[in-house]
Amino acid sequence: MNFPFPGMNPYLENPVLWSELHHRLISAVADEIEPNIPPQYRVGIEQRTYLSDDSDSVLVGIPDVAVFSKQSLPKPHSTTTQISTSEGIAVIMPMPENVTESYLEIKEVGTGFVIATIEILSPKNKRAGEGRKAYELKRKQVLASLSHLIEIDLLRSGKPLTVLGEVPITDYRIVVSKSELRPQATLYAFNVTEKIPTFSLPLQSGDNEPILDLQSLLNKIYARARFYLSIDYNQEPVPQLKRDDVVWLDALLREQGLRSKE
Into how many domains does the chain fold? 1
pLDDT in tens, 10-29: 999 999 999 999 999 999 99
In a domain, residue 239? The reply is yes
pLDDT in tens, 176-220: 999 999 999 999 999 999 999 999 999 999 999 999 999 999 999
In a domain, residue 29? The reply is yes
In a domain, residue 221? The reply is yes
In a domain, residue 235? The reply is yes
Q: How confident is the model at residue 98 (pLDDT cuts 50, 70, 90)?
A: confident
In a domain, residue 153? The reply is yes
pLDDT in tens, 144-186: 999 999 999 999 999 999 999 989 999 999 999 999 999 999 9
pLDDT in tens, 53-88: 655 554 433 333 323 333 444 444 445 555 556 778
Nearest CA-CA partner of 173 in 163, 184, 183: 163
Q: How confident is the model at residue 90 (pLDDT cuts 50, 70, 90)?
A: confident
In a domain, residue 116? The reply is yes
In which domain, by residue range, is 49 found?
10-63+95-255
In a domain, residue 87? The reply is no
- How does DSSP assign 87-146, residue by residue? S---------EEEEEEEEEEEETTT--EEEEEEE--GGGGSTTHHHHHHHHHHHHHHTSS
In a domain, residue 227? The reply is yes
Contact assessment for residue 152 and residue 117, using Cβ atoms and an 8 Å cutoff: no
**Rounded Cα–Cα distance for residues 10 and 241 (Å):** 8
